[in-house]
Structure 1
Amino acid sequence: MNRKRDIAVIGASLGGTQALCRIAASLPASFPGAILVVLHTAADSPPLTVHIVSRHTPLRVTYGRNGDEIRSGCIYVAPADHHLVVPSPGMLGLDRGPRVRYSRPAVDKLFESAAIVYGSRVVGVVLTGGGRDGTDGIRRIKEKGGLGIVQHPSEALNSQMPMGALDGGHADLCVSLDEVGPVLIELAKGTDVHATGLLSSTDYRRTLDTNLCWSETRVATDT
C-alpha cells in the first residue's frame, strides 16, 4: 500500500509569490493535504502575500501563528521576520531565532522541523530564489524518508535555489511550475512518485551535464 505524503513544505525567494499563486491555483478545494510555505521577505514587508494568494485558490490561506493546528486544505505562510516551524504533530510554531543562510524566515528551518516530526509524509518543494536556502532542508527530508521536488531551473526567475537543491543530490523530481500542483495532489492521495512519469532530478542532471559537454565541445571546435 502506498503511503500518503500529505505535508507539503515549500520554499522560495525572488519570484516566490507568483510561483505560489500558480501552484495554489491548480489545487482543488478537496486537496487532501496541508501546505506550509516560507517566502524570503524583508522584516518590514507589508503582509500582502496571503491576500494575493487567496485570490487564486479555493484553499484557505493564512499566516502561520504559534499553536495553530495544521489542517488539510490549508496553506500556511511564514510571517515576516519569523521562522515557521513544526514543533510537534499537528501544530505550527514561530520563533525569532538566528537567521539561517541570512534569512528569517528560512526554508531550511521549516523543512528540517517538518522532516523530524512527519518523516515520510513530507514533500519538500524548492522554487525560484537566490542563495542555497532549502538545500540542507531537502537533504534532511530525504534522510527521514520524505520526497524532494525542485522547480526546473530554466524557468525560475532566479535559479540559484533550485540548482543548489539539485547539486545537493537529494531531490527526487525536477518539474515545471505547472506540474508541481498535480504532483502534490497525487502524492497526498498516496500515488507512488515513480508513477508520475515526470523527470527525475538524476535524469535532469544527466541531461544538463550532456548539454554542457556538448557546448564545451562545440566551443573547442569553433576555436
Structure 2
Amino acid sequence: MTRRDFIAIGTSSGGVDALRAVVSGLPHDLRAAIAIVLHVGAHGSILPSLLNTAGPLRAVHAEDGETYSCGRIYVAPPDQHLIVEGSRLRLVHGAKENFARPAIDPLFRSAAAEMGPRVIGVILTGLLDDGAAGLEAIQTCGGATIVQDPADAFARGMPLHASPFADDILPLAGLAGRLIELIDGRSDARTTDEAAPPCDAVERDATAPRVRVPDTPPSGARGGG
C-alpha cells in the first residue's frame, strides 16, 4: 500500500482565509508535507506567518534545494515557481503560467511525476483555471484529488474548472478531515501500488486555452489575485 504523504494545495482569490481554515483543522503530528501555491505575483508575502497563527504546523517560505519533511508547510515565495525534484523542493524563475508566477500547475505536474500515488492535490478558491491541468496530472498518476465545492468558494472559477478531475468535491469545512482520512489510508480505494498507472509523461501544456467562466468576486476580497 502506498502511503499518501505529500499534499499540494493551490489557491488564489480568497485563498488566505481558505488556507487558514484548512490548516486549523490539521494535527501537529500530520504524517505528510504540505506545499502551497497562492497567487502572490512578485509582491511581498506574509502567508507563512498567517498560517503559523492558524494551526499547529510550522509554515515557511520554501528554499531552493531543501528537503521537505512531514508536518511542515512550504509556501511558494513571491515570483518563483515551486516544484518537486526527488526529495527536494526547487524554486524556478521560469515563464509565467496561466498569467501567474508562482503558478499552481508547475507544482502539481512535478509532484505527480515525482511521487505518483503519494500525492494529494487540492484546489481551493480562485479565479480562472490555474491548477486544473495539474490536478488532472495528479489523478492520472494515481494521486488523490480534492476540490473545494464551487458553491462554497469565495471565487468559483478555479474549483469549477478543476472539478472534472476531482475525486472529492467538498465544502471548506470538510477538507481537513478528508485529508487526514487519505493520509491515514481510510476511505480510499486507490492506495495500492497496482492502482497507480504508469506516469512518465505528465508535462502538459498548462497554457492551453480553456473555457473561461465569468467569476467576479465580491468587493473586500482577501487572499491572492
TM-score class normalised by the smaller sequence = 0.7 to 0.9
Root mean square deviation, CA, Å = 1.3
Which structure dedicates a bigger proportion of its chain to helix?
1
Structure 2: stretches of 5+ with no match in the other structure: 191-225
Does residue 160 of the first structure (1) align with residue 157 of the second (2)? yes
In the alignment, residue 95 of structure 2 is paired with which amino acid? P
Q: Which residue of 2 aligns with 1:56?
A: 54
SS in 1 for 2:109: helix
Q: Select 2:122's aligned residue among 120, 125, 138.
A: 125
> Following the alignment from structure 2 to structure 1, what is the Cα–Cα distance between the partners of residues 57 and 120?
18
> Following the alignment from structure 1 to structure 2, what is the Cα–Cα distance between the partners of residues 13 and 25?
19
Structure 1: stretches of 5+ with no match in the other structure: 196-223
Structure possessing the higher relative contact order (Cα contacts under 8 Å, 6 or more residues apart)? 2
> Following the alignment from structure 1 to structure 2, what is the Cα–Cα distance between the partners of residues 17 and 149?
18
> Following the alignment from structure 1 to structure 2, what is the Cα–Cα distance between the partners of residues 192 and 108?
27
Q: Select 2:95's aligned residue among 98, 105, 117.
A: 98
| Aligned length in residues | 190
* TM-score when normalising by structure 1: 0.83
> Following the alignment from structure 1 to structure 2, what is the Cα–Cα distance between the partners of residues 118 and 192?
21
> Following the alignment from structure 1 to structure 2, what is the Cα–Cα distance between the partners of residues 105 and 94?
9
Residues 5-46 of structure 1 show CA distances to partners (whole Å, capped at 9, x for unaligned) of 111100000011111101110011011111100000131x22
> Following the alignment from structure 2 to structure 1, what is the Cα–Cα distance between the partners of residues 114 and 189?
24
Aligned identity (percent) is 38
Q: Which residue of 2 aligns with 1:138?
A: 135
Any runs of at least 4 consecutive aligned residues in structure 1 with deviations exceeding 3 A, and if so which?
none
SS in 2 for 1:14: coil
Does the CA-based 8 Å contact 2:82-2:90 persist in structure 1? Answer: yes
Q: Which residue of 2 aligns with 1:150?
A: 147
Does the CA-based 8 Å contact 1:6-1:189 persist in structure 2? Answer: no
Matches within 5 A, 1:35-54: 35-43=34-42, 45-54=43-52
